[in-house]
C-alpha cells in the first residue's frame, strides 16, 4: 500500500497541471476556425508581377495565363522590333533612303506601352483569378447536410430537407 501511495505521489508530482496553465489558449467555439486557402491571392499577384500570366496559371486559369503571356511578349517584342527596324535595315544599298523615322517609332513605343499595360493588368487580375479558383474549389468540395427544424408558429410544420451550399 505504501508503494502505491509513493507511485501516485510521484506521478502527481511529475505530471503537468494543464487545468491551471495560463500560457495555453483554449479554442473558442464561437470563433470559426481559419480555413486554408486553395490558392493564395497574394502569391498569384507576386507571380503575375514577375512573369506575365504566371498568376493565372497558378490559379488554374491556364488559357488566360498563356494568352496574357503571349500578348505581353508579342506587344513588347514586336514594339521593340518596330521601333528599331526601318526600310533600310535589310537593304544592302548604301544610298537607301529610310524615309521619315517617326511613324514606325511612334508605333513601336505604342506597342511597347500596350505590352506593359497588358502585363500590369494581368498581374492585377491574378489575385482575382486566385479568388475565383478558391470559390470553384469551395463549391467542388461542398457537402450536403441534412436539415431538420422544429415547427415555428402555430401550424406545427416541420422543416426537413437537404442544404447544399452553392
Q: How much is the pLDDT for 57?
A: 96
**What pLDDT sits at residue 153?**
67
Secondary-structure percent of the chain, ordered helix, strand, coil, rounded to 5: 55, 5, 35
Q: In degrees rounded to 5, what are phi and psi of residue 160?
A: -140, 140
**In this predicted model, what pLDDT tens digit does every residue of 31-81 receive, in sequence order?**
555 567 889 999 999 999 999 999 999 999 999 999 999 999 999 999 999
At residue 19 the predicted structure's pLDDT band, cuts being 50, 70 and 90, is low
- Cell 503537468 locates to 16
pTM of the model: 0.63
- Residue 17 burial (CB < 10 Å; 0-12/13-18/19+)? exposed
pLDDT digits (tens, 9 = 90+) for 126-149: 999 999 999 999 888 877 777 777
CA–CA distance, 102 with 122 (Å, rounded to integer)? 30
Amino acid at each position: 500500500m505504501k508503494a502505491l501511495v509513493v507511485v501516485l505521489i510521484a506521478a502527481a508530482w511529475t505530471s503537468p497541471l494543464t487545468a491551471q496553465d495560463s500560457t495555453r489558449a483554449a479554442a473558442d467555439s464561437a470563433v470559426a476556425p481559419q480555413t486554408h486557402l486553395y490558392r493564395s491571392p497574394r502569391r498569384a499577384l507576386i507571380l503575375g508581377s514577375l512573369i506575365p500570366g504566371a498568376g493565372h496559371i497558378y490559379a488554374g486559369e491556364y488559357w488566360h495565363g498563356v494568352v496574357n503571356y503571349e500578348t505581353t511578349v508579342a506587344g513588347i517584342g514586336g514594339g521593340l522590333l518596330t521601333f528599331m527596324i526601318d526600310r533600310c535595315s535589310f537593304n544592302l544599298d548604301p544610298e537607301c533612303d529610310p524615309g521619315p523615322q517617326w511613324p514606325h517609332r511612334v508605333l513601336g513605343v505604342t506597342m511597347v506601352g500596350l505590352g506593359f499595360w497588358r502585363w500590369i493588368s494581368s498581374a492585377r487580375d491574378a489575385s482575382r483569378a486566385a479568388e475565383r479558383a478558391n470559390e470553384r474549389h469551395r463549391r467542388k468540395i461542398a457537402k450536403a447536410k441534412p436539415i431538420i427544424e422544429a415547427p415555428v408558429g402555430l401550424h406545427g410544420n416541420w422543416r426537413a430537407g437537404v442544404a447544399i451550399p452553392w
